[in-house]
Amino acid sequence: MDEDVFNMQIRKFLKNVGVTSQREIEGAVRGAVKSGKLKGNETVKARVTLTIDSLGLSTNIDGNIKLS
């Protein structure tokens, strides 16, 4: 295994995850505020599940996102 290639591939994957996740969260929060489901001053709980089926990996990453 080439450690440099492996590291770069992980970084590319995580960058894609980060950018896509941010867009999805922003859209969902804005929609919820617009519809009245959220006021915009809450803290929302978030969970990401990382799964790599071929490795038998499944792990949850939990956190909170403050809206103001």
d(C-alpha 67, C-alpha 18), whole Å: 18
pLDDT (0 to 100) of residue 3: 98
The pLDDT tens digits for 29-38 are: 999 999 999 9
The pLDDT tens digits for 4-50 are: 999 999 999 999 999 999 999 999 999 999 999 999 999 999 999 99
pLDDT (0 to 100) of residue 67: 98
| Residue length of the chain | 68
pLDDT (0 to 100) of residue 22: 98
**Of 4, 8, 20, 13, residue with least CA distance to 52:** 13
Confidence (pTM): 0.90
> CA 41 from chain center: how many Å?
20
pLDDT (0 to 100) of residue 41: 97
